[in-house]
């Protein structure tokens, strides 16, 4: 869907994945070539730019998705099974849904019973005023009329980041948590049954500045209940630089609301993150367009995988680590709960490894 008159288009990342040539078909049957501005696979969003000057294209507007009512009428538009410009209607069945697809968990989806089928991906979910309140993204294949859309509030934030920077710059929060268990809740003297317990606060980090302490129990983020560590980590991973996270925190019998502002990672922060997440430290390599492992943390996933100083790190994920700067950018885009794929060269052999998510 076109979101700006100068030719910016928002769709799903899986729609344009592995595409070599991208064409946008307009309602008046014009076909215009477009290029990828940026993608964010973790949210399954992509931004395209239609080629041309002074386009003045018709476009849609993002509406508010934070105040949706269950049962509210919605309209889905797309090209299911090649039937172009198909319109279906339904209601908001639920909000704040989490969905596990392949090896990734998506959260805060809008669930709707408006008919969504293959070909609807990337199309708008509209309210009756015609504002975009979601982007149709996924379906439950074993069921009928259970579809999911990315809320417009999140889509708009990610779209802005992709247009400005070509990528989503992850914000630094400086917080690690663990699941809340009944024994932990009893030991901490709180009544909450759902949430996560703060186990580490980075000194001087955004969480510390906001007043969070080890032993605090976070029960909600921006008004949405936190049920488990993975869900909480995904919410933190979605926080871009400058994002404000409103946390409801239980500390003993005291309940308070704290606001954490995600900041940009400094170079030293990224080196520390690589040491913690990957168990490696690197240096520039004079012998290849890659970085060289300078040290490997004993007992880390990297050490257990057999990595050792002197190995060449060719890529982290799909990002080529041709320099220290490229390596740091790749580390800055790591999501906390997700496994990390790396490409390593030793001698003439190249290996692709997957390191488990951090403990």
**Dist CA 158 CA 34 (whole Å):** 19
Q: Are 150 and 41 in contact (CB under 8 A)?
A: no
Token output for 188:
């901490």
Place of tokens 């004993």: 298
228: nearest Cα among 45, 58, 105, 57: 105
**Dist CA 287 CA 307 (whole Å):** 18
In 10 A of CB 81, how many CB atoms?
10
**Dist CA 19 CA 225 (whole Å):** 38
Give the largest Cα separation in the chain, rounded.
65
Where b means 16+ CB within 10 Å and e means fewer, 216-228 reads: bbbbbbeeeebbb
Cα 184 to Cα 167, 180, 193, 207: the distances in Å are 39, 6, 10, 21
**Dist CA 244 CA 246 (whole Å):** 7
**Dist CA 87 CA 83 (whole Å):** 10
Q: Which helix (H) or strand (E) holds 164?
A: helix 152-165
- Residues annotated as part of the active site: 14, 44, 121
């Amino acid at each position: 869907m076109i979101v700006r008159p100068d030719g910016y288009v928002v769709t799903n990342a899986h729609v344009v994945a592995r595409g070599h040539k991208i064409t946008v078909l307009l309602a008046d049957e014009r076909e215009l070539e477009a290029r990828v501005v940026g993608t964010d696979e973790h949210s399954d969003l992509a931004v395209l730019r239609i080629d041309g000057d002074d386009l003045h294209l018709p476009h849609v507007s993002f509406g508010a998705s934070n105040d949706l009512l269950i049962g509210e009428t919605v309209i889905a538009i797309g090209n299911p099974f090649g039937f172009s410009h198909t319109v279906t209607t339904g209601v908001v069945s639920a909000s704040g849904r989490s969905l596990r697809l392949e090896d990734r968990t998506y959260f805060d989806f809008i669930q709707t019973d408006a008919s969504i089928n293959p070909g609807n991906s990337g199309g708008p979910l509209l309210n009756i005023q015609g504002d975009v309140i979601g982007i149709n993204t996924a379906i439950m294949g074993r069921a009928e009329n259970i579809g999911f859309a990315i809320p417009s509030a999140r889509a708009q934030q990610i779209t802005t980041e992709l247009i400005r920077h070509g990528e989503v710059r992850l914000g630094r929060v400086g917080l690690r948590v663990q699941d809340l268990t009944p024994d932990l809740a009893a030991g901490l003297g709180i009544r909450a049954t759902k949430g996560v317990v703060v186990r580490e606060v980075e000194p001087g980090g955004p969480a510390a500045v906001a007043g969070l302490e080890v032993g605090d129990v976070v029960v909600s983020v921006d008004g949405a209940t936190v049920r488990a560590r993975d869900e909480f980590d995904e919410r933190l991973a979605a926080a871009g630089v400058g994002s404000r996270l409103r946390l409801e925190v239980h500390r003993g019998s005291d309940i308070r609301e704290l606001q954490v502002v995600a900041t940009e990672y400094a170079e030293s922060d990224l080196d520390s993150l690589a040491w913690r997440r990957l168990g490696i430290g690197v240096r520039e390599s004079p012998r290849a367009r890659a970085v060289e492992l300078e040290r490997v943390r004993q007992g880390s996933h990297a050490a257990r995988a057999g990595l050792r100083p002197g190995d060449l790190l060719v890529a982290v994920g799909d990002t080529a680590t041709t320099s220290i700067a490229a390596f740091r950018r790749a580390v800055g885009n790591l999501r906390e709960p997700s496994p990390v794929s790396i490409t390593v060269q030793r001698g003439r052999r190249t290996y692709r490894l997957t390191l488990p998510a951090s403990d």
